[in-house]
Structure formats: C-alpha cells, structure tokens
Structure 1
C-alpha cells in the first residue's frame, strides 16, 4: 500500500488532535486542519437541542471580539436557521450542505438578506453528530463562495474522522453542559407576547404558517409539511396579516425581531 505525503500528514495531524482532545484549543486545531484541505471563511461549534443553541467555540469577529450578528442569531434567529430546523425535524449524523436543508424560497427571506448573507455570506456546510434524541453536535463552516463538488466530496471523505473526534470531545465539555441555561421559549410564544394586545390573537396554525414563511418555505412546502392545501395556507396567511395589521413578510420578520428584544 502506497501512502502519499498528504496522507501521512493527515494521519499525523489526526493523531495530534487525539492527544489534544482535553485541551482548550482543540476546536481551533480541528478547524485549522480542515482549512488546510478546504478553504472557508467562518466557523462555529454548536450544540442544537430543544432550547437555545450552546456555543462551544467560534471564529472571532472582524475586530477580534464577539460577532454582533451571531449574537442576534443566538437570541432567536436560530429558530429560522435551516440547519437548526433540520436538526429538530430530521435529526441525524452526517455532512449536510445548505442546499440539502434550505427551503425553496430561502434566499428571498429577510433572514437570508439581513443575517445569513452578511454573516455566512454564500454557502455553509455542517458536520452533524447526533448525540441522542434531543441533542445534535454541529461544526459549521461558512464560505464567501459556493463549496464545489470536489470540496464537498473531500469533507465527506474525512467526515468519519471528524465526527469521531467531535463525539470524543464531548467528554471534556461537561462543565459547559452542566451550566446550560433553561430552554428558550419557542418563537411562537415570543411572537404571542408581542401581539397579546390583539383582541383576536393568532391561532397555533397561523403561528406555524408564519414560522415556515419566515424560514423560506413556499406555500407548497408549507402545505406539504402541515398536510393542508396551498389555498388553506394562503387563507391562514391572509388572516394572520389582517390580525397583525401588516401587509408583507418583511413586516412579519420585524415583529419577530421585536419579540427577541
């Protein structure tokens, strides 16, 4: 069996990572290793669960401090993140691309225009490790350009090593897990607080239609997810807009942001 110098370098680096599993710089070392093979511009390590995502490590902002846009994400925008939604609806381990999980109209949403394309810019891939029925450990890589098929294939090739390292690392994240905050309320509850002054509050179905709209689902996608007709979706949207006194999805997104504050 012939090994290339690149093969040898990879196995040596993985061995070094195994030795550093209990070290504070583990995540940064893992990300730097991946960056030697596939270029990317941002990264974050998250734990998705039923509550607010927990951050284990992240790349610094442009000024070296916390990224304010990412702080908005943690306050509540994560509820519109296609990767978060996928982890709740179809939890599984593996490598996911944005194209795998993004709804049909994702790039037309205010979430995409006002957060995603500014923070992640163009594309994102995510290593998922399903820890149990509720928790998914995620390493996300963001890029200013689209990941090409060769880069995706390479990331998928090294996924077994990366996933194993991520899973083993969890034994040394206990302190952060033990200090976890209580689960954040669902976005429906937050929006309900904003519109509770209304004499005719939104129904549960209207709230669900609103969430799916904001995440980028088309009327057909919403109808399929909720097992209703596309015409019924339009009726729910019309009633929701009327009750809220708004005329557009952008205004609905603004209400959602108010609910986060």
Structure 2
C-alpha cells in the first residue's frame, strides 16, 4: 500500500496553472457550504489521505464538528464518543488549549511521551484510528480554533517527509483562505468556559460520585489527568515538580480509592462517566 500512496503522491503533482486554478476555486468557495469539501479536495491534489475531520475548539467547551468524511462507525467513535470526554485527552485539543500558534502540526509532535502506550490511544483512538494524522490549526471567529485533520488509515503508510514538506509549503496560503471562511461560520458563537484542567477534574469527580467512590485530592486529580493524557511517571514528575517516586505513590493511592488495578479501568471510568453507551 505504501507504493500506491507514494505513487499517487507523484501522480498528483500539479503544474503551476493547475494549482493556481485550484486555489482560485478554493477562495471562491469561502463562506459557502461547499468550502470544507473544496478545501479537502484541494489539499488531496497534493498529498493523499483517507479521511478528514474539522473540529472547532474554544477553551474547554465541547468541540463542534464542522465537517467530516467518516463512515457511520468512525463517526460514532471519532465524533459522538469523542464529545463525551475523550477530547480532553486529545493532543490536538490540548495544543489549542495551550495556545499553540496557527500552523501545521503532526499528532506525533504534539503528543505526550507515552501517548502511544496510553489507554486513550490503545482502547479508544485505534478502534478506527489512523496510522498518521496531521492537523491544520486555523484561527476562527472570536476565540475559536479550527483543527482540520488529515488522516491515513492503518492500511496505508505514514505521511512521508516529502508529504510534510509539500503541506508546509502551501500551508500559509491555504490556512489564510480557510480563516476567511471559518470566520463567517455562525456555529462559532462566543463561549465562556472553565479551564480544561477544571473540566477534566470535574468529569473525573462526577464519574467517581456516580459509582459511590471517594473523591480524589487536587493533586491526585492532577496525576489522573496526566496519566489519562499519556504522560509517564517521569513526565508527570517534571510537570508537577515532584519526584517520580511520589507520582507512583499517588497512582497507587488513586487506584486503591477507585478500586481498580489498571489504566484501562481508569480510562473506562473516564470515557463513560455515567455508564451509558453511545
């Protein structure tokens, strides 16, 4: 499959007139319902991908799915379940909450050190997850940030160095056009929200309360949040200014309070706080 994508990438190379025509068409669609599809098809001319999704983020407010090309199963996982709470663990969301600048970012470059070993990744993300993901970070109206992700399916190869170089070369221009469009979207209304840390703490505490479990201390909640995001004990220690041994003690106490023995159980409590299915 790698050859088919790389070969496709070569076949998609455009002449300057073709590329300028594509950009002209993209600009003409700014503000229209068809813009997201045109944006995707324009980028697809340069670098192939399997599916795309655009989420709007504003602080810790529930994200808004603005556009997607998922099938029904993928939609249930990557949109419906995602909005329940897993978005709080998403490295792309965390980057917007932390004020990352507009631009093009690869998921792997934003993720914590143990993200690909975390339960978020292993039990949620990979259900229909991509083998690789790149996000355009685009400023919308008010405080909204739009992240348009390009994803490759597990059957395909990761984005190549050439793919990234191509996308980074065109990113400033296509992002500016996208900004013109998203700043007209009426779904993006001003929002007043808590900080993402406070939302994560409240979500975990509510999950414990519904199960009759004792509340966690503020420090234990900090540790839980970072564990769920995919940080190792050493990374958590650096972020919180404590020793890795102290982090391990906190984790042991957390698991005892919650009557669990694994990160998988911790994640299952977080992702379905009321025990309801989607």
Match of residue 117 from structure 1: 126
Query: CA RMSD for the aligned pairs?
Result: 2.4
Alpha-carbon shift at residue 228 of structure 1 (Å): 1.7
Question: 1:31 and 1:111 mapped to 2: Cα distance?
Answer: 27
SS at match of 2:113: coil
Question: 1:194 offset after TM fit, Å?
Answer: 2.1
- Match of residue 149, structure 1, among 153, 161, 164: 161
- Most deviating of 114-123 and 9-18: 114-123
Take 2:62 and 2:14, find their aligned partners in 1: how far apart are those partners? 43
CA shift in 2, pair 1:209/1:240, >3 Å = same
- State yes or no: 1:14 paired with 2:23: yes
In structure 2, C-alpha distance between the alignment counterparts of 1:217 and 1:34, rounded to whole Å: 33
Query: Does structure 1 residue 68 correspond to structure 2 residue 111?
Result: no
Match in the other structure for 2:260 = 246
Q: How many residues were matched structurally? A: 254
Aligned-residue offset at 1:35: 0.9
Paired residue for 2:188, among 177, 180, 184? Answer: 177
| Structure 2 Cα separation of the partners of residues 157 and 85 of structure 1 | 25
For 1:205 and 1:60, locate their aligned partners in 2 and report how far apart those are by CA, in whole Å.
Answer: 38
Instruction: Tell me by how many angstroms 1:187 deviates.
Output: 2.5
Task: Note the 1:112-261 alignment, pairs <5 A.
Answer: 112-131=121-140, 134-144=143-153, 145-173=157-185, 175-178=186-189, 186-196=199-209, 197-198=212-213, 200-259=214-273, 261=276
Q: 1:57 maps to what in 2?
A: 67
Kindly report which structure 2 residues correspond to 1:72-91, keeping only aligned pairs within 5 A, or say none: 72-91=81-100
Maintained 8 Å contact 1:92/1:130: no
Which of 115, 138, 146 pairs up with 1:106? 115
Work out whether residues 111 and 215 of structure 1, in 8 Å CA contact, stay in contact via their aligned partners in 2.
Answer: yes
Task: Give the distance between the partners of 2:142 and 2:252, measured in 1 at CA.
Answer: 36
Residues 203 and 36 (structure 1), Cα distance of their counterparts in 2 relative to 1, 3 Å cut: same
Please, which of 44, 53, 62 is the counterpart of residue 53 of structure 2? 44
- The Cα shift of 1:180 comes to 7.3
The structure-2 alpha-carbon separation of the partners of 1:89 and 1:151, relative to structure 1 and needing over 3 Å to count, comes to: same
- Asked if 2 retains the 8 angstrom alpha-carbon contact of 1:91 and 1:136, the reply is no
- 1:101-154 per-residue CA deviation (whole Å, 9 max, x = no partner) reads 111111112211222223332110001124589432211111123111100111
TM normalised by structure 1 equals 0.89
Structure 1 runs, 4 residues or longer, greater than 4 Å off: 131-134, 179-185
Distance 2:99 2:33 in 1: 31
Distance of 2:192 and 2:66 partners within structure 1: 14
Gaps of 5+ in 1: none
Q: 1:179 to 1:59 in 2, by over 3 A?
A: farther
Residues of 2 paired with 1:13 and 1:194: CA distance?
49
Task: In structure 2, list runs of 5 or more residues that go unmatched.
Answer: 1-12
Q: How far 1:220 moved relative to its partner?
A: 1.3
